[in-house]
Structures are given as structure tokens and as C-alpha cells.
Chain A
Amino acid sequence: MIELISQPWPWYVAGAGIALVLFLANWLGGEFGVSGALGTMCSMCGAGKKVPFFNVNWRNQLWNVVFVFGALIGGFVAGTWLSSPNDIQLSAATVQDLGNLGITDFTGLAPAEVFGLDQIFTLRTLVFAILGGFLVGFGTRYAGGCTSGHAISGLSNLQLPSLIAVIGFFIGGLAMTHLLLPFFMNL
């Protein structure tokens, strides 16, 4: 059983799993949207005293932060006991493109050249982590949702605003991947 689970899961299993999470999150009296937890964390830290936007009763939203903490534990469980010994089967074209950008290590879930702990005090890694994280946190609250809230929950509920947001995700993602990433990789 463990051996079967330890294989990489195909896309349709993942898609069904995410849909199940969407259902259970609603059935348990919440909703499926991860980026809201970042706002709840701000409220928990007392941001509501200075910024009215965060002046909400965060205890009612605590389930969202607990869900995210669970996701962290789930990552630990999967990485520790269910991990597959093989590298991810990436498309050859992607390996070549990323190779041209200077990435040679395709083991694990993120390139060691950029996200390895030994790189943490290099300019490139600090820019990827701090600028990247900031854009994610700022953009998701501005858009009112992320991949889960808009692409999954919103599109499942046939929301036009969510479609606009997802189009925005791709405009930003394509611009970063094809225009800006070479610059950041050369830092």
C-alpha cells in the first residue's frame, strides 16, 4: 500500500483530491481558499489595530490558518514517509529551457541553485524569496483569491471575476517566465 502511494500521483487523482478538499471545506462550514489565511495571520498579529482592513474577528477564520498549518504537516508527512526515490518526469523541452537558464539540478521540488538552504544569503535567492513572496501575498489579496479561491472555487461556481483573475495569473506568470526570469536567474 505504502509503495503504491509513494509513486507520483497522476493528474486525475490530484484533480479529484482537490475537488474533494473543495467539497469537504464547504461541508465543514468553511470554504476552499488558501490566501485568505495570510490575511487572517495579519489579523492575528494585531494588524487590525493599525489597518482597518485587518480589523476582523479572526477567531471565526481560524480554521483557515489551521488548514494551512495542516498543509505544512501534510508536506512533511508526504516528504518523509511517502516520498518517491525518482526525480520528477519533466518534459525534455522544459529541462532544456531551464538548462539554458543555468539550472542543472532537477532533483527534489525546487532547484537547489535557487532554493537550496546554502544559497539563502545570495542576492538571487533573497530576491526570488522576498520579492516573489511579496508579489504572491500582495497580488492574492488585491485579486481577492489565489489558485484555490479563484481558479478552483471561483471557476467551479462559474464566477466571471474569477476567470478575469485567472487570466491575470497567466499574464503575470507568462511575463515572468518568458521575459523576466532570465534577468533574475543572472543575479
Chain B
Amino acid sequence: MKLIKFLLLGIFFGIVMTKSEVVSWFRIQEMFRFQAFHMYGVIGTAVVLGAIIVFLIKKTKLKNNEGHPIEFHDKAFSIYRYLFGGIIFGLGWALTGACPGPIFVLIGNGYVVFILVALSAILGTFTYGLIRDKLPH
């Protein structure tokens, strides 16, 4: 049942990402060239509303639909992994014009080449797991 709910949520997400053009390679280029407000508006609205949602969930100690309290975990502080990992992802984001969600949304939109992007992203994740002990975190 939980899986069906997440399937429906994913479908909604895919429609939002497509209709708002967030999955567009061109829109990502526009963002990294600071030539339009669109992407900043999308992310900014999501973060402001998200912060209010997280604040209210914590304040009201809201329970999830399974009856357990909704918990937010603080991320362990470090600089290396977030900065280096972030830079590596950013390079790939600007090249493919897609972060992980949009890769799959674009496949659904009929962009067959992104199947290759997805497979390579899974390989990249696997490679990280393989060599993570050798990386500064």
C-alpha cells in the first residue's frame, strides 16, 4: 500500500517537473548563466514553503500516516564530502541538464539517451561505494 502511494506521488512529481520545465536542459543552462529567474523561483518557493512545513511538523509533533512521529535527522557536519561531492555532481548536472529525478522524468518524456545517463549514474553511485574508504569525508 505504501508503495502504491509512493508510485502516485512519483507520478505527480514527474508531471510537476515536466510542466514547470525544470527537467529542461535549456532551463538549467539559463540558471547557471543567471539569465532567468525561473529556476531560482522554483527552488526558492520550494525551500521557503518547505521550511515552513518542516517547522510546523516539528512544532505540532505531527505523526505520519503510519502513526509514527515524523523525524528529521541532522546531517553530520563536514566540509569535504559536501563540497567535493557537490562540485562533482554540479559538473554532471550542468552537462546533462538533469539531476537524478529529472533523468527518469526525461526517459518518461521519450528521451531515450537518458537511459544511458541513468545507467551511468547508477554505475557512478556504485563506484563511489567501491572507493569511498579512500575519499576524504
Q: CA separation between A176 and B13, bound complex, in Å?
A: 27
Interface size on B, as a range, is: 35 or more
Residue contact B112 to A120, C-beta cutoff 8 Å: yes
Report the separation of the CA atoms of residues A117 and B78 in the bound assembly, to the nearest whole angstrom. 41
Asked if A129 meets B91 with Cβ closer than 8 Å, knowing A38-B122, A73-B14, the reply is: no
Q: Is A2 an interface residue (CB 8 A)?
A: no
Q: Answer whether A71 and B135 are a contact pair too, CB < 8 Å, given A140-B100, A165-B85.
A: no
B36 touches A91 (CB 8 A): yes
Q: Which residues of A contact B51 (CB under 8 A)?
A: 155-158
* Assembly CA distance A164 to B65 (angstroms): 32
Is the beta-carbon distance between B18 and A156 smaller than 8 angstroms?
no
> DSSP majority for the B interface?
helix
User: Are A76 and B83 touching (Cβ within 8 A)?
Assistant: no
Report chain A residues within 8 Å CB of B23: 75, 109
What is the distance, in angstroms, from B119's C-beta to the closest C-beta of chain A? 7
Find chain B residues with CB under 8 A from A155 CB. Answer: 47, 50-51
Which of A19, A88, A133, A139 is in CB contact (< 8 Å) with B50? A19
Q: A182 in the interface, Cβ–Cβ < 8 Å?
A: no
- Given B50, B105, B124, B132, which contacts A136 in the complex, CB threshold below 8 Å? B124
Provide the residues of chain B in CB contact with A174, threshold 8 Å.
32, 90, 94
Closest CB in chain A relative to B48 CB, distance in Å: 8
- Which residues of chain B are near A13, meaning CB under 8 Å? 20
Given contacts A94-B36, A106-B26, A157-B72, contact A144 B81 (CB under 8 A): yes
Interface residues of A in 150-183 (CB under 8 A from B): 150-162, 164-178, 180-181
- Asked if A97 is an interface residue, CB under 8 A from chain B, the answer is yes
Bound CA–CA A102/B79 (angstroms): 38
Across the interface, A74 reaches (CB within 8 A) one of B15, B21, B75, B78, namely B15
Task: Report the Cα distance A138→B95, complex, angstroms.
Answer: 14
Q: Does B85 contact A139, Cβ atoms closer than 8 Å?
A: yes
Shortest beta-carbon distance from A66 to chain B in Å: 5
The interface residues of chain A lying within 8 Å CB-to-CB of B6 are: 25, 28, 30, 63-64, 66-67, 70
Known: A14-B16, A73-B7, A166-B86. 4 other contacts (CB 8 A): A17-B16, A26-B70, A109-B111, A143-B85
**Could you pull out 29 A-B pairs where Cβ atoms are within 8 angstroms?**
A11-B20, A14-B17, A15-B43, A15-B49, A20-B12, A22-B46, A28-B64, A29-B2, A35-B100, A42-B122, A64-B6, A67-B6, A69-B10, A128-B95, A129-B116, A133-B120, A134-B127, A139-B91, A141-B128, A143-B89, A144-B82, A146-B100, A152-B46, A155-B51, A157-B72, A168-B82, A171-B90, A173-B28, A176-B32
5 tightest A-B CB contacts, nearest first: A74-B14, A70-B10, A168-B86, A172-B90, A15-B45
Chain A interface residues (CB < 8 Å from chain B): 5, 8-30, 34-35, 37-39, 41-42, 47, 51, 53-54, 62-64, 66-79, 82, 88, 90-91, 93-94, 97-98, 106, 109-111, 114-117, 119-120, 125-126, 128-144, 146-148, 150-162, 164-178, 180-181, 184
